[in-house]
A and B are shown apart, each in its own frame.
Chain A
Amino acid sequence: MSDTSIPFRTRMSAGIDRFGGVMLLPVVLAFIAFVLIGQPSTWATLTIAGLAMGMMIFLMASGLSLIFGLMDVLNFGHSAFATAGAFVGATVLAWLGFWVTGGNPALNLAGLLLAIAAATIFGALAGWFFERVVIKPVYQDHLRQILITVGALIVAEELVLLIWGGAPIPVPRPAVLTGSIVFAGVSVEIYRIFAFLLGLVVYVAMYLVLNRTRLGLLIRAGVENREMVEALGFRIDRLFILVFMAGSALAAMGGAMWAGYQGLITAALGSEMMILVFIVVIIGGLGSIQGSLLGALLVGLMANYVAFLVPKMALASNMLLMMAILLWRPYGLLPAVKR
């Protein structure tokens, strides 16, 4: 070998970085799953399901990650926004009735978009209230944040039970998004394609805001050093409330999408998702939406592959994934703050 002075590992990782670095992980995971599963059409269906689920988790996780990264706030109540979004979305879909279930695709889509918009706006308003009342008094105090946000989560779930009752609620799915299309022998649920595309649009929008606007510049700076942002003359508290509202709105949007995906929802929807959401935030790296996207896709794929291969291991597999990644990269795959 010519350049023995450079260790093999260094050269290898430089080579991997050239082809996308950690962004390759979902591809590697999909490849391993392909070998293990064997049947291409099953693998394709699972992969699409995993990507769709990943995007919905991304909606819920990206806000939490930004809130933690920027505000240093541990919000265990984040899942309440997903739950609320799910119920608001389901209610609006039910109200719109024939719009959603009838034969006119344009009305179908309009109904769905209205439901998602209602959930998102509700999430933003509830986020504003939550930040002012629950979070603001406990900035800088992690222990109290945990206590008060867990408390708020319980209250929120009780409120959902009070308003919508304890029985599972069916979610009408827009007729145009019902059923599957068959492509090259692989049957793909239309709703999954929609969920994936919506997640992608949100990701691109967030990416552009963060990287092409002054507001985004401020947020990225604030994630690294809040004090310095203030010393440059910016009111960080205004930035906080904006990001908190956006994060809550996204969680509600993700919850509404998840509700449509599940078809039947209970008040526990948010809390059930939250374990995965926290795993995503941790393996993605705090405060980074690229990290959230990467983590969400990994978690979504892993959940679907393992649910098929070893059903009992579905959740445990993502825990193991998180532990493995943390051993390798203690700050997550793509942390926002460069150390």
Chain B
Amino acid sequence: MSAILRLEGVHTNIAQYQVLHGVSLDIPEGGVHVILGRNGAGKTTTLRTIMGLWKSRLGTIQFRGQDIAQLGTPDIARLGIAFVPENMGIFGGLTVEENMRLATHDGSFDTERLERIHAIFPAIKQFWQKPAHALSGGQKQMLAVSRAIIEKRDLILIDEPTKGLAPSIIRNMIAAFREIAEETTILLVEQNFHFAKALGQTVAVIDDGRIVHRGSMTELAEDAALQSRFLSLSLEAH
């Protein structure tokens, strides 16, 4: 497997604070890859840096071999990278349809694809003409994910999609993500280890702005000692 995304020694400052102290990551093409880490570890900052929403100060970020660290966010997006931010980034004053339409490159839908999305997330169909601010938190999350997959992307960055979701919805999300991952690479930031374990092929644990562990998900899932070493950093109860 070749890497679709490669970060090497990425340093990012937010205002005068240094948040990432040299993050290195290799994301293989295809499947779901997970970043774990406790609150404030730098997960969101890593995704935002890849997306160009924070600029890295040092280090390289390569997407399919192309250096993207100096590109603007719109140019990065146009390479085929979608972003589902932690706050979901829904346009509340726009309808669900308008939210989805904006994510298409020319304002028109591929009906077959749209029907598949409607099948995965029936709420999207049900509230199609409703203003998005009227959706529940879980429905907004579904809209944010739907928006990222309305056209085929090469890489989707998703920041904690399970936050605040009921267990039954999380089960649906797992199925949905499995389907999405068949055509796309997903880089997933998660705190819910159950969710991460069910989906992830590889895992990276970040702490204090550094990657402290990289490996396969099976390895981490089976090794209690590894888990207690790294995951006590992040997720006790799940």
**Per-position contact with B for A191-234: 1 when CB-CB < 8 Å, else 0?**
00000000000000000000000100110110111011111111
The number of A-B residue pairs with CB atoms under 8 Å apart is 61
The answer to whether A225 and B78 touch across the interface, beta carbons within 8 angstroms, is no
CB-based nearest A residue for B79: A233
The answer to whether B74 and A233 touch across the interface, beta carbons within 8 angstroms, is yes
The answer to whether A227 and B94 touch across the interface, beta carbons within 8 angstroms, is no
Q: Which residues of B contact A227 (CB under 8 A)?
A: 53, 73, 85, 89
The answer to whether B74 and A337 touch across the interface, beta carbons within 8 angstroms, is no
Q: Which residues of A contact B107 (CB under 8 A)?
A: 214
Of A221, A223, A231, A336, the contact of B73 (CB 8 Å cutoff): A231
Total interface residues in chain A, CB < 8 Å = 21
Q: Given the interface contacts A217-B94, A217-B98, A217-B101, does A230 sit within 8 Å of B89 by beta carbon? A: no
CB-based nearest B residue for A230: B73
Say yes or no for A235: interface residue by CB 8 A criterion: yes
CA distance in complex: A337, B94 (Å): 10
Of A221, A230, A233, A234, the contact of B91 (CB 8 Å cutoff): A221
Say yes or no for B122: interface residue by CB 8 A criterion: no
CB-based nearest B residue for A288: B93
CA distance in complex: A337, B133 (Å): 10
Q: Which residues of A contact B85 (CB under 8 A)?
A: 227-228, 231
Q: Report the minimal beta-carbon distance from A70 to chain B, rounded to whole angstroms.
A: 13
Say yes or no for B83: interface residue by CB 8 A criterion: yes
Q: Counting chain A CB atoms within 10 Å of each CB, which of B73, B92, B94 scores highest? A: B73
CA distance in complex: A227, B51 (Å): 10
Q: Which residues of A contact B147 (CB under 8 A)?
A: 232
Say yes or no for B59: interface residue by CB 8 A criterion: no
**Per-position contact with A for B93-106: 1 when CB-CB < 8 Å, else 0?**
11000100111010
Of B74, B103, B131, the contact of A230 (CB 8 Å cutoff): B74
The answer to whether A231 and B77 touch across the interface, beta carbons within 8 angstroms, is yes
Say yes or no for B137: interface residue by CB 8 A criterion: no
Say yes or no for B215: interface residue by CB 8 A criterion: no
Say yes or no for A338: interface residue by CB 8 A criterion: yes
Q: Which residues of B contact A231 (CB under 8 A)?
A: 51, 53, 73, 77, 82-83, 85, 89
Q: Which residues of A contact B78 (CB under 8 A)?
A: 233
Of B53, B89, B94, B105, the contact of A233 (CB 8 Å cutoff): B105
Q: Given the interface contacts A230-B74, A235-B74, does A224 sit within 8 Å of B53 by beta carbon? A: no
**Per-position contact with B for A219-261: 1 when CB-CB < 8 Å, else 0?**
0110111011111111110000000000000000000000000
Q: Report the minimal beta-carbon distance from B187 to chain A, rounded to whole angstroms.
A: 14
**Per-position contact with B for A28-48: 1 when CB-CB < 8 Å, else 0?**
000000000000000000000
Of A228, A232, A234, A336, the contact of B93 (CB 8 Å cutoff): A336
Say yes or no for B40: interface residue by CB 8 A criterion: no
Question: What residues make up the interface of A, taking CB atoms closer than 8 Å to B?
Answer: 214, 217-218, 220-221, 223-225, 227-236, 336-338
